Amino acid sequence: MATDQARLKVAFIGLGVMGYPMAGHLQQKGLQVCVYNRSSAKASQWVQQYGGLQAATPAAAAVDADLVMLCVGNDQDVRSVVYGTDGVLSTMKAGAVLVDHTTASADLARELAAASASQQLGFLDAPVSGGQVGAQNGLLTIMVGGEQTDFEKAEAALGCYARSYQLLGAAGSGQLAKMVNQICIAGVVQGLAEALHFATQAGLDAKAVLAVISKGAAQSWQMENRGTTMVEGQFNFGFAVDWMRKDLGITLDEARRNGAQLPLTALVDQFYAELQAQGGGRLDTSSLIKRFQS
């Protein structure tokens, strides 16, 4: 049975575009939340908006917490808030669960699971999908790796900002599933970019074409939510090219280890690298269409 959310004490580490609203949902749903952010001004802003508490270090935030949730940038960022005298492992109480929402490597997830177990702590790798809008609206999808007992302890909190969350296997499984997610997105966005480029070159009204084909077998979330904005040249919808390249790099590294063949993913990664070289690293991932417009 999932833990009663009203009794949960939560430390939330990392208040970026995803973590800020996610932590806000926890506080608004009645959980007791203490936040830490590398920029203390951002944490102070969060407290002013939502209430809750602010800590000066990750370790201070984690004191007496039932759940310690991380949402930072990459593997090294995670290690910087987990280990050492200021890291959360130095103060977490036995039986608490460390939940990492960062999109990171499966190797890191297994490392953190072992480190947590050595201190009688649980661990879940729980990367999210749904972007900034999904975080703001509490409609994220969460792919989880870890033990069933730890998952049950965290369910009440996960449900505060997710419409779907599922335990997929042992530690690392969540990160591997997020890689599957990013492989799918890369291929769909590139296909949509090519299709819209073709429509334009053929002299068609691209928006009219979208209105028709989005009702058929070509329909996708990307088409429904990004097709028109791609035609209009709007690329300010959250998840940036820089972050997608980080995720695809992790995915391609994992593929080299497990023998998976990802020719399309590798090609789209190169296309995103071109956008970075043109100064488009902060544009959202639908900006792949810009390659055809230069």
Give the Cα separation of 60 and 39 in Å (integer): 15
pLDDT in tens, 125-162: 999 999 999 999 999 999 999 999 999 999 999 999 99
Give the Cα separation of 139 and 164 in Å (integer): 8
C-alpha 50, offset from chain centre: 22
pLDDT in tens, 218-258: 999 999 999 999 999 999 987 899 999 999 999 999 999 99
> What are the C-alpha distances in Å from 102 to residues 52, 124, 294?
22, 11, 34
Residues 6 or more apart in contact with residue 98 via CB below 8 angstroms: 68, 70, 82, 88, 89, 92, 112, 116, 121, 122, 123, 124
Provide φ and ψ at 127, rounded to 5°. -65, 155
Residue from 223, 152, 240 nearest 189 by CA: 223
List the structure tokens of 274: 């071109």
pLDDT score of 3 more than 60: no
pLDDT in tens, 97-109: 999 999 999 999 9
pLDDT band at 5 (very low <50, low <70, confident <90, very high): low
Give the Cα separation of 10 and 157 in Å (integer): 9
User: Catalytic residues, which ones?
Assistant: 178
Identity of the amino acid at 260: A
Arithmetic mean of pLDDT over the chain: 96
Comparing 60-74, 182-196, 198-212, 228-242, the range with the smallest average pLDDT is 228-242
> What are the C-alpha distances in Å from 205 to residues 12, 150, 190, 197?
47, 52, 19, 11
Class of domain 176-292: mainly alpha
- Predicted pLDDT at 177: 98
Q: For the domain 5-171, what is the CATH superfamily, name and number? A: NAD(P)-binding Rossmann-like Domain (3.40.50.720)
pLDDT in tens, 69-82: 999 999 999 999 99
SS3 277: helix
For residue 12, the cross-strand partners are 35, 69
pLDDT in tens, 13-69: 999 999 999 999 999 999 999 999 999 999 999 999 999 999 999 999 999 999 999
Give the Cα separation of 10 and 8 in Å (integer): 6
Give the Cα separation of 2 and 151 in Å (integer): 8
Compute and round to an integer the Cα radius of gyration of the chain.
20
pLDDT band at 7 (very low <50, low <70, confident <90, very high): confident
Whole-model pTM above 0.85? Answer: yes
Residue from 254, 245, 198, 187 nearest 221 by CA: 187
CB contact at 8 A, 151 and 167: yes
Say which residue the tokens 């335990």 belong to.
167
- Predicted pLDDT at 237: 87
Give the Cα separation of 138 and 32 in Å (integer): 18
pLDDT band at 1 (very low <50, low <70, confident <90, very high): very low
Domain range annotation of the chain: 5-171, 176-292
